Structure 1
């Protein structure tokens, strides 16, 4: 019985001691965003050349962007735009993206990419020598290209209910779920 009283007394002292341990409040953290949670990051690459000088590839590396093990990297390519009085609106399509050439549709050019935690490699693949294209076709495929890189969690990117086919459909999914994408300059 005496042991139970001692244990009870010690427990009471410990509980009272822990309750009285209170220090100064730390500094307040930065204000959060109202109603929105940041889901990912977007980076625009304008005027990229994928010509034979660069072996039909372009490497993008940015130390300011963190890619985690559970992130997905999506790359969109703009080959067309909609005219608008406030400025042209690019149409973004998810890569890889295949373009068919020649009257029989036998020539194929694919805009593709791969990535690591540190960089994104954007490149052209084809079933023929790209140097054999006419100057006009060569320039339209390789010169002054527009790409948009998006980093989002894999769970979001792999959700079959999310439509990520175009950048606008990605934004719609993000906004509908109460998230926001940060545009990195």
Structure 2
């Protein structure tokens, strides 16, 4: 009886060892990109319908974030996430964007008639406007507490080196 018990015990362990297979194919294929950053400087005018375009390859799993440089503090750019509405004495100025898998289109609009604005207004809000487009993978930020409206939080969370 003792001999049968030992053989039975070895058979059970052998069966368990053979039937337990950790070689299942659970590899997840992701199309997420590594974080990418692109700077664009553009002029908004009637000739380009007050829009600036940047060609990019954007995966369907990317989150597209766009920031406008609104100024400089201690030599460092100040980035504001768009869409954004600026409430100015001349009226409302909106910066907005849309994107496809091939490009990002940044637009200036609002209640202001741009054709009636002073050279100072045009220089401050429509000429040489600098934007930073940041592509981040959606899967990493899904359950995180990253504040996408805060440029510094985004680059810290995704470990993106900042460019001056």
| TM-score, normalised via structure 2 length | 0.71
For 1:90, the equivalent position in structure 2 comes to 77
Call closer, same or farther: CA 1:182–1:173 in 2, change over 3 Å: closer
For 1:145, the equivalent position in structure 2 comes to 129
Deviation at 1:72, TM superposition (A): 1.1
2:99 to 107, 115, 123: 115
For 1:55, the equivalent position in structure 2 comes to 49
For 1:24, the equivalent position in structure 2 comes to none
Q: Is the 8 A contact 2:37 2:133 kept in 1?
A: yes
Q: Is the 8 A contact 2:155 2:161 kept in 1?
A: no
What is the distance in 2 between the residues matched to 1:125 and 1:157?
30
Q: Which has the higher contact order (CA 8 A, sep 6+)?
A: 1
What is the distance in 2 between the residues matched to 1:157 and 1:124?
29
Report runs of 4+ in structure 1 exceeding 6 Å deviation: none
Q: 1:63-113 CA distances to partner (integer Å, 9 max, x unpaired)? A: xxx321111111110011113xxxx211111111111111xxx81101110
CA RMSD of aligned residues (A): 2.3
1:164 to 134, 148, 154: 148
2:69 to 68, 72, 78: 78
In the alignment, structure 2 segments of 5+ residues that lack a partner are: 1-32
1:39 aligns with 2:30: no
What is the distance in 2 between the residues matched to 1:170 and 1:43?
14
What secondary structure does 1:169 align onto?
helix
Call closer, same or farther: CA 1:114–1:159 in 2, change over 3 Å: farther
What is the distance in 2 between the residues matched to 1:136 and 1:157?
40
In the alignment, structure 1 segments of 5+ residues that lack a partner are: 1-37, 175-179
